[in-house]
Structure 1
């Protein structure tokens, strides 16, 4: 199925988003508040923290770009770039925490990346549309890993976190597949399956 702006699917989706706009806004605010509360809690435990609200989050599957990059891609505001680079430079990912909720077909997620030795925690909050996540979910579950990419609006990649367990991000893959708007015979999506 080709995807065209203002197709019936888009019109229906726009209506759904409009009908749930206050709920979606409230859930985003809740995700940011939860992220800050978790950061405050980690700081009380002696960790240095960086909490970043992504301006945009995209689910990437291998067939979507010119390379094999896949995972959650977070576009972060430029005012966080220098702090992120500084922390990421010596960062070694030891543990990952993923906190998320679904609302109206959107996932609101906070990813907690922990460096135990350096006592640094980087949090990234984002939200994404489940309709476009099936390729990523399939890839992550088949390969048994997951990636979080952090970049700026101009596309500069600031860093990538490699996670061992995609189940942290997708505990119930079928929940994501139910929202899939692609068709099995779509050649552009075939490599995702």
Structure 2
């Protein structure tokens, strides 16, 4: 996907998450909710640069589920700047029921990128939680 976008003239930042955690509202002291992608190494610097230079107005979700594991790629894009961020990881849906209920109730889902030490790098809003989580997750 990244190669195809680059071939079409897009700048692409890929976050290959070391871990993706489904975080429901009220978890921790941040008040945020959604999938939290733990960025590693160069991914962190790349996503910070992208977020500082882009306004992300579209997204697409590509996923496959096997048992309770959901393999997911979320592509967020700034179409005007031809800038894309790919969030890549695996989520354990067995841990996602509280998040699924909250996201469907609020009719919104978020993807967050953070470092292992808790530093928050980015947040992306998504209008349809069903793209990420079934209502019965």
Q: Unaligned stretches of 5+ in structure 2?
A: none
> What RMSD in Å do the two structures reach over aligned CA positions?
1.1
1:73 aligns with 2:73: no
CA contact (8 A) 1:98 1:110 kept: yes
**Higher RCO (CA 8 Å, separation ≥ 6 residues):** 2
Q: Going by fraction, where is helix more abundant, 1 or 2?
A: 1
Q: Report how many residues are paired.
A: 137
Find the counterpart in structure 1 of residue 69 from structure 2. Answer: 106
Q: Distance in 1 between matches of 2:61 and 2:41?
A: 24
Q: Unaligned stretches of 5+ in structure 1?
A: 1-37, 177-193
Which secondary structure does the structure 1 equivalent of 2:12 belong to? strand
Q: Going by fraction, where is strand more abundant, 1 or 2?
A: 2
Which of 76, 79, 90 in structure 2 is aligned with 1:127?
A: 90
Runs of 4+ off more than 3 Å: none
Find the counterpart in structure 2 of residue 32 from structure 1. Answer: none
Provide the TM-score with structure 2 as the length reference. 0.94
Q: Distance in 2 between matches of 1:118 and 1:103?
A: 35
CA contact (8 A) 1:78 1:153 kept: no
Provide the TM-score with structure 1 as the length reference. 0.68
1:140 aligns with 2:79: no
Which of 73, 85, 91 in structure 1 is aligned with 2:54?
A: 91
Q: Which has the higher Rg, Structure 1 or Structure 2?
A: 1
Find the counterpart in structure 2 of residue 46 from structure 1. Answer: 9
